[in-house]
């Protein structure tokens, strides 16, 4: 526990600035400033005083620092940004849940004006780990070229079910108006995507908007069901692959901060288990799209793999889930349509180069009305030497 409005860590002053942003000597925390190492040693004292720090080179709200190739210290970018993650990781650790990030501990900050919140989370570092947009895409590319059928979709289904069994232990009945609220939220996501997606992708989306809207409307006819604190942003990219003690590949689900598309104060709201499952299923289609980009060709073998992978993941999830009442499969069509629309809107706002992936999945999964002229989807150019 740190105390005060400006505690000193590793000789540097930590403060909360404008907009709740956490700052170290007035700047964003960074690997090499010694703060990550000092915070890690508060949780894991055996870490060496001179242990090296290095950054995880991804664009993210928080700052993650690898310390001594032993732990990862995630320093929040905004006040209270990781309170949810810390609580969920503690619950999973107490339950001994396999396949999720191993929490070593957290550092809290007691601020005289803002109260108490999590400043940093310390988890195990997995040597040689890669995220799903790397290892999963490589596996699918190999399968497209005649390689072995990947077995990890079923493994992900098992991990998701075990995760939900623990986090759903205190699930509560959703509000009676939950079906309508879910439909309204999904309709808004589709409206945003339609308003911002232009060009060939926009035409393909417009021609499939009614098919997407049909899936979304089905949300209003479902039961309220059960809600609890789900992962909230569960997709293949949130799964690390590393070598286990036996040399076999090990899969670890990370990042429990919730849906980044939601305002920070809404990410902790309970939700339906089906949303996590839908996001996983959508991400399998996105992997198939990325694999075709990397292969520089449209290839039906990628979509055939996605069909098999979706079935394997769903089957394993159903078979493993002990609390079967948590999962309402009728929510999947609406949640999948919403997530695909959200991916398009995310691309428009933050990463235009990503638009091709949800565009591919929508074009493949939903029938076209052919009201607007459209050209077939093709993957954008890919240069393996580019960043």
257 is in an annotated binding site: yes
**What's the pLDDT tens digit per position in 181-210?**
999 999 999 999 999 999 999 999 999 999
Please check whether residues 182 and 320 belong to one and the same domain.
yes
Please check whether residues 135 and 150 belong to one and the same domain.
yes
SS (H, E, C) the chain: CEECCCCEECCEEEEECHHHEEEECCECCCCCCCHHHHHHHHHCCCCCCCCCEEECCCCCCCEEEEECCCEEEEECCECCCCHHHHHHHHHHHHCCCCCECCEEEEEEEEECCCEEEEEEEEEECCCCCEEHHHHHHHHHHHHHCCCCCCCHHHHHHHHHHHHHHHHHHHCEECCCCHHHHHHHHHHHHHHHHHHHCCHHHHHHHHHHHHHHHHHHHHHHHCCCCEEECCCCCCCHHHEEEEECCCCCEEEEECCCCCCCCCCHHHCCCCECHHHHHHHHHHHHHHHHHHHHHHHCCCCHHHHHHHHHHHHHHHHHHHHHCCCHHHCCHHHHHHHHHHHHHHHHHHHHHCCHHHCHHHHHHHHHHCCCCCCCCCCCCCCCCCCCCCC
165 is in an annotated binding site: no
Please check whether residues 242 and 259 belong to one and the same domain.
yes
131 is in an annotated binding site: yes
44-49 mean pLDDT: 96
Which residues form the domain of 259?
130-365
Reported confidence tier of residue 260, pLDDT bands at 50, 70, 90: confident
**What's the pLDDT tens digit per position in 137-170?**
999 999 999 999 999 999 999 999 999 999 999 9
Please check whether residues 278 and 167 belong to one and the same domain.
yes
Please check whether residues 195 and 109 belong to one and the same domain.
no
pTM of the model as a whole: 0.93
Please check whether residues 206 and 332 belong to one and the same domain.
yes
Please check whether residues 141 and 10 belong to one and the same domain.
no
Q: Quick one: what percent of the chain has pLDDT higher than 70?
A: 98
255 is in an annotated binding site: yes
Domain of residue 117, CATH code: 3.30.200.20
238 is in an annotated binding site: yes
233 is in an annotated binding site: yes
124 is in an annotated binding site: no
Query: Is residue 65 over pLDDT 50?
Result: yes
* Count of structural domains, the chain: 2
Mean pLDDT of all residues in the chain? 94
**What's the pLDDT tens digit per position in 264-292?**
778 889 999 999 999 999 999 999 999 99
What's residue 387's pLDDT?
A: 42
């Amino acid at each position: 526990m740190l105390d005060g409005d400006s505690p000193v860590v590793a000789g540097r002053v930590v403060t909360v600035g404008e907009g709740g942003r956490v700052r170290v000597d007035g700047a964003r925390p960074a690997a090499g400033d010694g703060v990550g190492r000092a915070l890690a040693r508060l949780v894991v004292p055996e870490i060496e005083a001179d242990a090296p720090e290095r950054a995880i080179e991804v664009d993210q709200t928080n700052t993650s620092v690898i310390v001594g190739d032993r732990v990862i210290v995630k320093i929040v970018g905004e006040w209270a940004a990781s309170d949810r993650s810390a609580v969920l990781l503690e619950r999973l650790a107490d339950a001994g849940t396999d396949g999720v990030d191993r929490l070593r501990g957290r550092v809290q900050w007691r601020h005289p004006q803002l109260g108490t919140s999590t400043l940093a989370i310390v988890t195990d570092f997995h040597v040689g780990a890669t995220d799903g947009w790397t290892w999963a895409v490589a596996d699918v590319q190999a399968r497209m070229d005649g390689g072995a059928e990947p077995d990890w979709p079923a493994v992900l289904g098992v991990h998701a079910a075990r995760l939900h069994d623990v986090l759903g232990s205190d699930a509560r009945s959703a509000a009676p108006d939950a079906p309508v609220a879910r439909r309204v939220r999904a309709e808004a996501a589709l409206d945003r995507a339609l308003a911002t997606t232009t060009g060939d992708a926009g035409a393909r989306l417009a021609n499939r908007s009614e098919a997407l809207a049909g899936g979304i409307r089905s949300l209003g006819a479902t039961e309220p069901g059960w809600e609890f604190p789900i992962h909230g942003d569960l997709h293949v990219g949130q799964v690390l692959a590393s070598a286990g003690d036996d040399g076999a590949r090990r899969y670890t689900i990370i990042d429990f901060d919730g849906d980044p598309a939601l305002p920070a104060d809404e990410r902790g709201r309970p939700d339906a288990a089906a949303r996590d499952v839908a996001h996983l299923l959508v991400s399998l289609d996105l992997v198939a799209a990325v694999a075709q980009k990397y292969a520089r060709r449209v290839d039906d073998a990628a979509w055939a793999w996605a069909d098999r992978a979706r079935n394997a993941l769903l089957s394993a999830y159903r078979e493993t889930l002990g609390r079967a009442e948590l999962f309402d499969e009728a929510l999947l069509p609406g949640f999948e349509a919403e997530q695909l629309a959200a991916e398009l809107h995310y691309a428009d706002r933050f990463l235009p180069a990503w638009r091709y992936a949800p565009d591919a999945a929508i074009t493949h999964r939903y029938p076209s009305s052919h009201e607007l002229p459209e050209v077939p989807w093709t993957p954008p150019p890919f240069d393996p030497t580019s960043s």
